[in-house]
Amino acid sequence: MKKLALIGCGGIGAYHLEHFMRFTDLSLAGFCDVTVERAEGFVKKAGQGRAFSDYVEMYDKVKPDLVFICVPPACHGNIEFETIKRGIPFFVEKPIALDLDLAGEMAAQVEKHKIIAASGFQCRYDNINDAAKKYIAAGKVLTVQASRVGGIPEVPWWRNKFTSGGQLVEQTIHQMDMLRYLLGTEPDTVYSVAGRGWISQKECPGYYTDDLSTTLITFKNGVTATMMTGCYAKNGVCWESKMIFGARDSRMDYVLCGSVTVYTQGAKTAAKKGKSASVIKGDGVRDKDSEEHVEVTKSEVDFGLLCDRTFVDAAISGNAGKIRSPYGDAYKSVAFTLACNRSMETGLPVKVVY
């Protein structure tokens, strides 16, 4: 039986543990957290394994066959280099690092040593992506209008941009990653502006990050996009998460981990001869004669479970072919979002360079 280890027994670690407990072909051999009580809590929940506060000691004693690395964004580097040195396949949570040079060095080492490594972009495993990709493959999308608005996570490191990377890098990286994944192209240039001052120290002690940002993106295939995102929502009414893919004769609304809705012109309108099937008339009023055909695809799979299982299978078999978010690709999504941060800092458009 292959031995699995986990480093970082916090919120997302617990999410993965729920999945591991369904993988009866694995031994849950080691749990590590600098706060050892957390690792002990995981051992108790798993009903097996040993707790450690030092991952090197855990590697020496447990000799895991695969490892999940679930530490905060600013804690990457040494753990990965040690894991690569030992040739252990690893799954690491996004963002893989907050320093692009470090992320690039780790990605280069992974490639050089042919380590099977994946990142936690679980949304890539959702069944709705088949419908989305089919729509996009028709080649009609010219623009995307995207948003993600939520609240402030409880974890203390999140409130400081130095330790979290900021809201766009830490959270909206999921949407930015999906833009790359779905469009099948890479970002060329980003221009981001950020806003602060709405969330006070009184409301959130230690808060030092952007409340919101808006980004303009040009992609290499000519598609343009906007991303409006923030953590300012006080309640669910303000919550927002949608990516509207626009074409000249159709539209797709993509709700991350939720649904895909494709709107096309109805057959009745299309059949009308000698009449423009325009949706908007000259004065901006919607053409009442235009009939919509709506096709909805809902999320029906446990994409998080599938994501973890795909990595586990790859680590066991040595075949990484089914991993949808390989480490080197996750590096690109980090580069994409860090370019946005750079643009916020400089006030200038920034080329996304991998």
List of residues contacting ligand NAD (CB under 6 A)? 7-13, 32-35, 38, 55, 70-73, 75, 79, 93-94, 120, 122, 155, 170
User: Minimum CB separation from ligand NAD for residue 143, in Å?
Assistant: 27
User: Minimum CB separation from ligand NAD for residue 241, in Å?
Assistant: 13
Nearest Cα residue to 336 out of 86, 165, 210, 89: 165
Nearest Cα residue to 323 out of 337, 335, 310, 333: 310
Both tokens assigned to 275: 């009449």
Residue nearest to ligand NAD (CB): 10
Both tokens assigned to 270: 């299309």
Both tokens assigned to 286: 């919607």
Nearer to ligand NAD by Cβ, of 182 and 307: the residue is 307
Nearer to ligand NAD by Cβ, of 94 and 148: the residue is 94
User: Minimum CB separation from ligand NAD for residue 192, in Å?
Assistant: 19
Nearer to ligand NAD by Cβ, of 320 and 330: the residue is 330
Nearer to ligand NAD by Cβ, of 69 and 225: the residue is 69
Nearest Cα residue to 334 out of 160, 155, 187, 216: 187
Residue 336 has a CB neighbour count (10 Å cut-off) of 23
User: Minimum CB separation from ligand NAD for residue 214, in Å?
Assistant: 22
User: Minimum CB separation from ligand NAD for residue 91, in Å?
Assistant: 10
Nearer to ligand NAD by Cβ, of 65 and 93: the residue is 93
- Rounded to whole angstroms, how far apart are CA atoms 145 and 124? 19
Cis peptide bond prior to 64, omega within 30° of 0: no
Please give the span between the terminal C-alpha atoms of the chain, in angstroms, as a whole number: 38
User: Minimum CB separation from ligand NAD for residue 329, in Å?
Assistant: 15
User: Minimum CB separation from ligand NAD for residue 5, in Å?
Assistant: 11
User: Minimum CB separation from ligand NAD for residue 279, in Å?
Assistant: 36
111-133 burial, b for 16+ CB within 10 Å, e for fewer? eeeebbbbbbbbbbbbebbebbe
Nearer to ligand NAD by Cβ, of 19 and 140: the residue is 19
Nearer to ligand NAD by Cβ, of 65 and 177: the residue is 177
Q: In sequence order, which ranges of the chain are alpha helices (DSSP H)?
A: 11-20, 36-46, 55-62, 78-85, 100-112, 128-137, 161-164, 167, 173-183, 267-271, 303-317, 327-346
Nearer to ligand NAD by Cβ, of 45 and 140: the residue is 45
